[in-house]
Amino acid sequence: MSDTGKLPILDHFIDGKRTAGAGNRFGDIHDPAGGQVQAHVPFATPAEVDAAVQAASTALPAWSRTPPSQRARILFRYRDLLESHRDELARLCASEHGKTLDDARGSVTRGIEIVEFACGIPQLLKGEINENVAGGVDSYSLRQPLGVCVGITPFNFPAMVPMWMYPIALACGNTFVLKPSEKDPSCGLRLAELAVEAGIPAGVLNVVNGDKETVDALLNHPDVAAVSFVGSTPIAEYVHRTGTAAGKRVQALGGAKNHLVVMPDADMEQVTDALIGAAYGSAGERCMAVSVAVAVGEDTADALIDRLKPRVESLKIGPFDGEGVEMGPLVTKEHRDKVKGYVDSGVAEGADLVVDGRQVKVPGHEEGFFIGGCILDRVTPQMKVYKEEIFGPVLSVVRAKDYEEAVRLVNEHELGNGAAIFTRDGDAARDFTHRVEIGMVGVNVPIPVPTAYYSFGGWKRSLFGDHSMHGPEGVRFFTRLKTVTSRWPSGIREGAVFNFKRSTEA
């Protein structure tokens, strides 16, 4: 870590205000385009984690008793503030992550859509009722808040992914502690500030920064009721195992290896456009990136490569605010080198390197964490680049002899986040959507991210826990079901005595 005396040091956000870190451990926040450290972030001590959880615990009784309609009104004000600060949030996101401003704006907008969904919480919390389930007995259900909830979020969407979690948690009457990525934490802090400005009471939404020690303190804190996580599969599995062992409800979204199946009848220009956005947008640093194109038939694969190669070679790469830039740098030097290592591995294992972006240099930003788009052809399921999530702008092309082999490839991979098929054949599309063992499926849509009022989540080792993110599943995750069975003695029969005292007798 660099000398903390020469650069800005960020804060935590506890009990409604920015709070300076009290520990002696810090992380570096880089400018990904320039390569230099631009700020430092304090790593929360166990005492600071406890202070954030206690602030949330103190705020919980009053917030959980606040009528849902009043919570919704505050969220409506919050939504308006987020909209008016959208460009500011996008710039914070882009400056620390490296993604282009257009990408960042789009991700902030998607987050705001979750807030809009959460504004409908009075309708979403409605239970069920049946009267006279037995003689004079009624039964009804309620959904009530869990308590203090925690969100642990990744570096790739520092505004959007936190908003997958805390707006719904707060709408349901919970309080929240957010632990954003230590690589780009500024968005999380600003989101909390705006929440207080909108009228969310102090302590309802808190932010603590940190690394694994901070995460472990949250996972094991006795006053935390639930944990929501997005990140890599190994860490998702760890969070789920550790949190559930500590008695908490956990949803943990892991990694992905999203396949796009290209049928021989597909519109190849449409496929090419789709892959440019899906494989190389946000420099491939997203769990819904398409990292495997499965071409059905040799002719299909050859046609795809012929169209893709010049498009990938001509991608404009540069800093997030550069004019016409289509792809920014990766988030850190270590991650860029890891992605390069995957390309090295693919070549060593026999893949054809059709486009090599490993040596890309951006004039004026020679120390930036840039890598160009890469295409590996003739990748096989035995290769490391096929088995593992790369999280960078690397597309693997797998050649399948027929449709059945393509479906089998999708289903046999251990990760089941997203998949898509491009075809003009409705029968093939329908069969694909029914048979693939995948949580989110696209038909002629390369990145099948559900809208805010649906739920986001994969299958297999892409999701640990029983609930997906946001939408109806998010409401179910952040509430617990209570069923009431009631019977009242009749008070209207003749001669009933109520014994109410008169006001003068009080």
Distance CA 204, CA 14 (A): 9
Strand partners, 177: 150, 206
Pairing outcome for strands 352-355 and 374-377: antiparallel
Task: Give the neighbor-by-neighbor strand order of the sheet with 137-145.
Answer: 129-134, 137-145, 479-487
Please state the φ and ψ torsions of residue 438, each to the nearest 5 degrees: -140, 145
Contact 89, 106 (CB under 8 A): no
Helical residues (DSSP H) of 323-439, grouped into ranges? 333-348, 384-387, 403-412, 426-435
Distance CA 379, CA 419 (A): 18
Q: Which class for 159: exposed (0-12), middle (13-18), buried (19 or more C-beta within 10 A)?
A: buried
Question: In sequence order, which residues have a C-beta less than 8 Å from that of residue 44 and are 6 or more positions away?
Answer: 12, 21, 23, 52, 208, 209, 210, 214, 217
Is 287 marked active-site?
yes
Give residue for tokens 């694969």: 301
Distance CA 453, CA 116 (A): 9
Chain-centroid distance of CA 428 in Å reads 30
Whats the size of the chain, residue-wise? 506
Question: In sequence order, which residues have a C-beta less than 8 Å from that of residue 441 and are 6 or more positions away?
Answer: 418, 419, 420, 421, 432, 433, 448
Rg of the chain (C-alpha set): 25
Question: In sequence order, which residues have a C-beta less than 8 Å from that of residue 249 and are 6 or more positions away?
Answer: 146, 225, 226, 227, 243, 465, 477
Please state the φ and ψ torsions of residue 132, each to the nearest 5 degrees: 60, 45
The single residue of 149, 172, 187, 287 carrying the catalytic annotation is 287
Q: Which two tokens stand for residue 395?
A: 């597309």
The secondary structure element, H or E, covering residue 151 is strand 148-152
| Residues annotated as part of the active site | 287
